[in-house]
Amino acid sequence: MLPSGHAWRKCSGAARDQCICMGLDLKPSNIVVKSDCTLKILDFGLARTACTNFMMTPYVVTRYYRAPEVILGMGYKENVDIWSVGCIMAEMVLHKVLFPGRDYIDQWNKVIEQLGTPSADFMKKLQPTVRNYVENRPKYPGIKFEELFPDWIFPSESERDKIKTSQARDLLSKMLVIDPDKRISVDEALRHPYITVWYDPAEAEAPPPQIYDAQLEEREHAIEEWKELIYKEVMDWEERSKNGVVKDQPSDAAVSSNATPSQSSSINDISSMSTEQTLASDTDSSLDASTGPLEGCR
């Protein structure tokens, strides 16, 4: 399948997900494709609902695919996932990671070395200490997208291929924008000429799946109880599949347990994460919401 088809499906998935959450951990290993080209996005364990009001931290996004606003501890919106999709699409084209940072400071350096130092307007949006660090980094003009993604890495057997090459490069240039306020939105990406051929209103505008009840995973059961619940869920799924009434919600058998929720914090509980972070290492632990990842850098 062409990268355009995969890009369409990733954007389409992001479009549906933004109705209830931001994916926040888009990476190649979280994307699976069946032989019929059906694409699924996996692992929503670190996803956040769109209405959640907290500062995203580097903990929630795999380093190579982190958007600049995550690296710099800024606020975020739905197109945070567009950056990740752009990185994945670039990796599909180049057959290598676009921004292979060794830690999150080096990750930022890799971004500006290739895309250029951001504008003064962008700098004004940063926290003072983060802005001080970013402004004191060497200034980079950036590499032209024609050089980052030269013609020879794309198919070029026909005139149509050449047109698609230009369109693919244009889409990448709109996805990989440091300033999220200037980055293409999910809806705009879905209608971009490079992937519009795959546009299916029924798929793109389908209602989002019902919000998963995370309380199920927070319950405590004995091993035998878990086995029974899993068995009941599998049998119920098979029955609903046969009858054509498969739903997105877990079966009643799995959610009607009278067991009390676990007293231990879940992975999605930001308050349970460590707030201590050193700049010399990249442990991917969470940061305090009042400071950015580059807080204290000079």
Hey, which residues are catalytic here? Answer: 25
Question: Is the model's pTM score more than 0.95?
Answer: no
What is the per-residue pLDDT for 166? 93
Digit-by-digit pLDDT tens for the chain (298 residues) are 445 444 445 454 444 444 444 545 788 888 888 888 777 887 765 554 444 444 444 444 578 999 999 999 998 888 899 999 999 999 999 999 999 999 889 999 999 999 999 999 999 999 999 999 999 999 999 999 999 999 999 887 788 888 889 999 999 999 999 999 999 998 899 889 998 877 777 777 777 666 656 666 667 888 999 899 899 999 999 988 887 665 444 444 444 444 443 333 332 332 333 333 323 334 343 333 334 455 445 4
What is the per-residue pLDDT for 84? 92
Mode of pairing for the β-strands spanning 39-41 and 31-33:
antiparallel
Mutual orientation of helices 159-175 and 3-17 as an angle, nearest 10°? 30
What is the per-residue pLDDT for 295? 47
Backbone φ, ψ for residue 111 (5° rounding): -65, -50
Half-sphere exposure of 117 (CA within 13 A, CB side): 12
What is the per-residue pLDDT for 293? 52
With tokens 């004191």, the residue in question is 136
What gap in Å lies between CA 211 and CA 254, rounded to an integer? 16
Domains of the chain in sequence order: 3-204 (1.10.510.10), 215-265 (no CATH)
